[in-house]
Amino acid sequence: MTHPGCGCPGSMARTIERQEPGGDTAVKARSELRQWPVQLHLVPPTAPYFQNAEILISADCVAYAMGSMHQDLLKDKALAIACPKLDDTTAYVEKLATIFSANGIKSITVAIMEVPCCRGLDIMVREALARSGKAIPLESVVIGIDGERRN
């Protein structure tokens, strides 16, 4: 049986060609992770690391696609990760609204991949922010499948 060439464009198999960098590449990047757990299902909404924090809400794939994610996006931020396509996101909007309203969040950065299914995370965060009743600065960052920032 053959299957038509349809479905989510984010699921399409692709190969990313990269040129080898010059110089010494043996330097390990330092982790900027400040807390555990990080999965949105698991983070306690009133965890101390959310108090008066800048927060990064990231799609799972961002950390794998963007080699400099820790230095460019995560540094000095509390983290929650989620996948809007594969996770059961039923409780995400309410949980995020609680995090935003209960912790004095200073800013929110949402990092998503350029694939269409990832937009759901940005939509959930915006809805949660509206429900929280807070005026928190929000930035959305889109990462290409090649790891480069698109905006």
CA distance 111 to 119: 10
What mean pLDDT do residues 71-100 have? Answer: 96
Share of the chain above pLDDT 70, in %: 83
What mean pLDDT do residues 21-39 have? Answer: 81
Q: How is residue 49 annotated by DSSP?
A: G
76 in Cβ contact with 48 (< 8 Å): no
Range list of β-strands (E), the chain = 54-59, 78-82, 107-113, 138-143
Sorting pLDDT into bands at 50, 70 and 90, what band is 12?
Answer: low
What mean pLDDT do residues 102-115 have? Answer: 97
Using the predicted structure, report yes or no on whether residue 118 has a pLDDT greater than 80. yes
Sorting pLDDT into bands at 50, 70 and 90, what band is 57?
Answer: very high
Sorting pLDDT into bands at 50, 70 and 90, what band is 18?
Answer: low
Angle separating helix axes 92-102 and 119-132, nearest 10 degrees: 50
The answer to whether the predicted template modeling score (pTM) of the entire model surpasses 0.75 is yes
What mean pLDDT do residues 61-67 have? Answer: 95
Sorting pLDDT into bands at 50, 70 and 90, what band is 3?
Answer: very low
| CB neighbour burial string for 96-128, b if at least 16 within 10 angstroms, e if fewer | bbbbbbebebeebbbbbbbbebbbbbbebbbeb
What mean pLDDT do residues 76-100 have? Answer: 96
pLDDT of residue 27: 76
Name the average pLDDT for the chain.
89
Share of the chain above pLDDT 90, in %: 79
Which domains, from first to last, does the chain contain? 32-143 (3.40.50)
